[in-house]
Amino acid sequence: MTNHLSILRRARPIFAALGLAALAAPAFAEGPLTVKDMSLSLANGVAMGAIEQCRKDGFQVSATVVNRSGQVMAVLRDDMAGPHTLDSSRRKAYSAASFKTTTAILGDRVSAAPTAPGSVKDITDIVVLAGGVPISAGGAIIGAIGVGGAPTGTADEVCAKAGIAKFAEALK
């Protein structure tokens, strides 16, 4: 009997902690989440804005816009854009949405530790070439755009940012 009482006394703090955790758990699970996300019309507009900027700069590209979950919302391929540009733009958009940063910055991080095991560059569909830019609305990442096909990633990024800039007012 003494052993059982001793065990119960030592277990009392554990039971108390479990009881508090059970009381607190519903506070974390209550109700649905409210999130901002990409609309189809915004995705189409941002993609077209990027294509238009690249056309002005003399480049034929593809532009892909994904929502906050990395799901494709809009894809545009300019008339003479190369076949590789579709996959490149999609992967850039996915990477920017996944890591919530530009793919240029992501590339810099990978370059700083190129032989690190488990590098982000080894994750399926991640690409660390410039041209992917997150899209924010009211301080929340709602998606990303990726542009592929200009002679440099930097030029792709300029076009991506121009597409976003067309909707700066709506994204505040």
pLDDT digits (tens, 9 = 90+) for 57-91: 999 999 999 999 999 999 999 999 999 999 999 99
For residue 152, give the amino acid letter. T
State the average pLDDT over residues 124-131.
94
Q: Whose structure tokens read 């930097």? A: 154
Residue 166, sorted as left (phi over 0), alpha (psi -120 to 50) or beta, turns out to be alpha
pLDDT confidence band for 8 (50 / 70 / 90): very low
Fold classification of 40-165 is: Beta-Lactamase (3.30.450)
Per-residue confidence at 39, pLDDT binned at 50, 70, 90? very high
pLDDT given for residue 112 in this prediction: 87
Residue 125 near residue 137 (C-beta atoms within 8 A): no
Q: Is the pLDDT of residue 10 over 60?
A: no
What per-residue confidence (pLDDT) applies to 143? 97
In this predicted structure, what is the pLDDT of residue 33?
84
Task: Say what percent of the chain tops pLDDT 70.
Answer: 83
CB 98 within 8 A of CB 92: no
- The stretch 145-150 carries a mean pLDDT of 98
Q: What is the largest CA-CA distance in the chain?
A: 87
